[in-house]
Amino acid sequence: MRHCLAIVLCIGLLAPAAFALPGDDLILVGAKIYRSPEEAPIENGSILIHDGAIQALGPTGSFRIPPGATRLDCSHLTVTAGFWNSHVHILTPALLHAKQSSAAELNTELDNMFNRWGFTTVFDISSILDNTLALRRRIESGELSGPRILTTGEPVWTIEPVYVRTFLLENHLRIPDTTKPDEAIALVRDHFEKGANGIKLFTGSYQGGDKVANLPLAVAKAAVTEARKHSMPVFAHPQNLTGVNVAIDSGVNVLAHTVPQSPPWTPEFCERLKQAHLALIPTLTLFDFEARNLKPAERESWVAQMVSELRAYTQAGGEILFGTDIGYTDRYDTRLEFTLMSRAGMSYRQILASLTTNPAQRFTGKSGRIDIDQPADLTVLSADPSEDPTAFSQVRYTILAGKLIFRAP
Ligand SMILES: [Zn+2]
């Protein structure tokens, strides 16, 4: 698989990233509310937010609205729990200098990458830990408007994949090789102490042609065992079948991609992944991006292979987490991902679960549904995904802990 790190960024009008709201209370009125993927939606519902948490919800008119509450008219709009993107990278040039860059510059990029697509939480699975932590601190302090960020920081690899080599050199970044179990344990401990939330293993690191540098099983096992002590989930970039087997045999939790160098996914193969409690992040948009220079027929068959892997794992009842690999690619627009997930046979309810309940339950132990006393992380759509899955990309408002971090122009 050929990669090259995207440095092209969205060029758009600068938009203010945060919107101050008068008063403590915000009420969303008249929306179709999907509390969770499983429950029937509330037609014409309202949600009252107080101090960043959901205080009341139900059919409009079923509870008292405090005087002075700011009203957000949501008639003809659809509300879901805030979206997760479980595969991103805080590595774009605009985010790489989080300590020094201006708030305006960072806010524009956070808006383009995350806020405007409805993401209230992202899992950054490979970046420069110190830089990502600096960005997170500036968001948490209220200086920047962006999503909650969970991060794995620097990954574990025996050698970097060929497609990031130039990028690392050009940006004077160094991510050390990890070839021994002791080194893996030290990296995991160091990351945990600094504030990382997970660990990323390149169980397969692409080296050009058919060459893949697979992580020795002993190194993967050492990393996973140490990560478990700190309750950190472990992600694997598998690349090939050997990489998948190392992930299964070491106890990895999440496959960060479908697998390009893989035979077709049979029910037996999917059952092995399920038995290992592996969640799958399809990143179908990534593969369309990677195939952009191929002939149309080749590009289609390459993407079709990835779609068929997702279809097989969905049919097997495997857990899917939404993720697009943005920050590695510049494909911030989520529409294609939803189109391809739908092509893989996922229902809008299954897609909604991959955006909300699945990642929330796996990574935080919370339900990921819209509920009283929970932080008001909400995504407001201008269309209904039950009619068209690309409605998930039509975001009107993104609300993080009761604060509007995006409002469609
Ligand atoms: Zn990635």
191-211 per-position pLDDT tens digit: 999 999 999 999 999 999 989
Secondary structure class of 369 (helix, strand, coil): coil
| 370-389: pLDDT as tens digits | 999 999 999 999 999 999 99
Does residue 176 have a pLDDT over 80?
A: yes
User: CA-to-CA distance for 190 and 165, rounded, in angstroms?
Assistant: 24
Q: Which residues of 198-229 are buried (b: 16+ CB within 10 A; e: fewer)?
A: bbbbbbbbbbeeeebbbbbbebbbbbbbbbee
Ligand 1: distance of its center to the CA of 206 in Å? Answer: 13
Ligand 1: distance of its center to the CA of 126 in Å? Answer: 7
pLDDT of residue 261: 85
| 18-70: pLDDT as tens digits | 443 445 799 999 999 999 999 999 999 999 999 999 999 999 999 999 988 99
Ligand 1: distance of its center to the CA of 127 in Å? Answer: 9
Ligand 1: distance of its center to the CA of 60 in Å? Answer: 42
CATH superfamily of 83-364: Metal-dependent hydrolases (3.20.20.140)
Q: Which residues of 298-313 are buried (b: 16+ CB within 10 A; e: fewer)?
A: ebeebbebbbbbbbbb
Query: How many Å separate Cα 330 from the centre of its chain?
Result: 14
Q: How far is CA 66 from CA 79, 315, 399, 403, in A?
A: 21, 47, 20, 18
Which residues on neighbouring strands pair with residue 407, listed in sequence order? 397
Ligand 1: distance of its center to the CA of 323 in Å? Answer: 9
Ligand 1: distance of its center to the CA of 167 in Å? Answer: 14
Which residues on neighbouring strands pair with residue 56, listed in sequence order? 48
Do 116 and 380 form a contact (C-beta atoms < 8 A)? no
* CATH 2.30.40.10 domain position(s) in the chain: 25-80+370-407
Query: How many Å separate Cα 207 from the centre of its chain?
Result: 26
Ligand 1: distance of its center to the CA of 54 in Å? Answer: 33
Alpha helix stretches (DSSP H) within 171-266: 181-194, 217-229, 241-250
Amino acid residing at 298:
E
Ligand 1: distance of its center to the CA of 89 in Å? Answer: 6
Ligand 1: distance of its center to the CA of 286 in Å? Answer: 9
% pLDDT > 90, the chain: 92
* CATH 3.20.20.140 domain position(s) in the chain: 83-364
Ligand 1: distance of its center to the CA of 311 in Å? Answer: 21
Ligand 1: distance of its center to the CA of 288 in Å? Answer: 14
Ligand 1: distance of its center to the CA of 299 in Å? Answer: 20
CATH dotted code for 25-80+370-407: 2.30.40.10
Ligand 1: distance of its center to the CA of 24 in Å? Answer: 38
pLDDT of residue 22: 45
